[in-house]
Amino acid sequence: MIPVQGYEGRKVGVLGLGRSGLAAAAALEAGGAEALLWDDSQEARDAAEGRGFTVTKLTRDMDELAALIVSPGIPHLYPAPNPVIEAALRAGVPVDNDIGLFFRSFATPEWSELDVTPKVIAVTGSNGKSTTSALIHHCLEVAGKPCQLAGNIGRGVLDIDPAHDGEVVVLELSSYQTDLARSLTPDVAVFTNLSEDHLDRHAGMGGYFAAKRRLFAEGGPDRAVIGVDEAEGLYLANQLSEGMVDDQVIRVSVTGKVGGMGWNVTAKKGFLAERRKGKQIGSIDLREMRGLPGRHNHQNACAAYAALRSLGIAPRVIEKGFESFGGLPHRSQHLGEKDGVTFVNDSKATNVDSAAQALQAFQNIRWIAGGLGKEGGISSLVPHLDSVKKAYLIGHSARDFALEISDTDYAICEVMERAVEQAFEEAEPGDTILLAPAAASFDQYPNFELRGDAFAAEVKKILAR
């Protein structure tokens, strides 16, 4: 646990009692503060009281609070502030979150006795931030570096252990987290990409980009790794750079060669190349990296490579880490092979953009798709269906999807068991059975993880035959 500094002997409100809220409350009390908790859910309040915390309606105690700590899922501005947050804003109570508490509390006076100062790598972006964060952490482990993984992935940021000598903490941060944190001071900050998401929470793309940009503007990282394949990333890299040869900014691209004499990491046709001052100084063949299939994962690999190189990790060590990286569950996860047929679980592909990335990563696809379709349907996927031999459609939107996939062959399977079995019966050696639903899971499963687990369970039966 990271005890929170700066609130000893003072009352601090905690709004939202999920994983991050309860961890923040414990860390505040470990640092000598008095935590006062609230959640709209009676069940959550009862659970907090059962752990010994003080639960109270925070609007009654606002004048006594030194700060209000808010969980990520609670809106503080758009589409409208939560009433407790609005009360704090009107009372002048500083509003923060667990990320802000982490950055103000991670460094301690004891660090003066360490030989190598600990570092923090923070990763944000619309897509790929989980894979990028996990890949960085995995490569650090391969390199023998002490490291921890936290944030949206791994442990809560205040749940991690106090830093060891030379340790690296890798944080995955969402826009909800970067938008509100009052302190953001990573040593290395990574921006993967930007695409439309959470627009109601940020009142449009401008607000969404502004939330991501805070990670780079508030504290000024020593190194910034920026994906420049979208206009926003290109603009951000330009804002942070002092000139063409400024190596504070490492530009990442998978759409073409980055110009200039700066520090760049690019991937073209599966080959990663690192260039600095116009000279290539490192390269990796990504084509056979089973845990990193497709261009979207090549972008993740470039971002991870750049972050690791900024810490001085050698290219060959990074390549070794890439080779042994198994991928994250439900994200282009290789489950196994049977009779020449490969099974891939990308249940996290809950929208057309992420499904398109998965469909471009493989050949000879037998595509399992469907669920609770989203606004706009999936007709925009038609240009990406050239490698699909047949679609096996499940869930609430199966018949709607069938009408939108042009002349692609399909079967209405409705349930996962039937889809997997029929796809395997019809598959030929060299085919890939890919779960990339392009839809939410809530018609049949509580979340995409359980949908992916259901797919994996059916695949396990086949592999055991």
Could you list the residues known to form a binding site, using ranges: 125-131
Strands 263-268 and 271-276: antiparallel
| Cα distance between residue 294 and residue 362, in whole Å | 7
Q: Which two tokens stand for residue 104?
A: 């103000």
Cα of 135 vs its chain's centroid, Å: 11
Q: What is the DSSP letter of 279?
A: E
Query: Which token pair is 178?
Result: 């970067």
Q: Give the whole-angstrom CA distance, residue 300 versus residue 129.
A: 8
| DSSP annotation of 155 | B
Strand ranges in 2-161 using DSSP code E only, listed in sequence order: 11-15, 34-38, 54-55, 65-70, 95-96, 119-124, 147-151
Kindly state the tokens that stand for 311: 């810490």
Cα–Cα distance for residue pair 286/272, rounded to 1 Å: 7
228, 240 Cβ separation under 8 angstroms:
no
Distance (Å, whole) CA 63 – CA 278: 58
Q: Which residues are annotated as a binding site for ATP?
A: 125-131
CA distances from 461 to 180, 420, 454 (A): 46, 10, 11
